[in-house]
Copies of this chain bind each other. A is one copy, B any other.
């Protein structure tokens, strides 16, 4: 999975029918210091993530292993909202504190 921050949304009315009701989030990939790295991706939302939250997303066929994305042409899904992470025993990000 990849660490990312939710920064926006994409709206589409004309799409494959099975995608109806899914929300498309714009995710900026971040490094272990929670800084944006320049890369971004559009992912379906499986966990009601909001703008500004740090999340994990999964790609490929694994992106279809959620209730909302099953059997859909979706190759990236937000499947977890991050509370915190630590590297070598030191917190690098804590929700509500480093946002």
Residues of A within 8 A of B (CB): 1-3, 7-16, 18-19, 24, 26, 31-32, 40-44, 46-48, 51, 56, 58-67, 69, 71-77, 79-89, 92
Asked whether, in the complex, the Cβ of A65 is within 8 Å of the Cβ of B73, the reply is: yes
Interfacial chain B residues near A9, Cβ < 8 Å: 85-86
List 22 A-B residue pairs with CB atoms under 8 Å apart, sorted by A's residue number: A1-B24, A1-B42, A1-B44, A1-B74, A1-B75, A2-B42, A7-B88, A8-B87, A11-B82, A12-B83, A15-B79, A16-B46, A19-B79, A24-B56, A42-B56, A62-B64, A62-B74, A62-B75, A63-B73, A64-B65, A64-B73, A73-B77
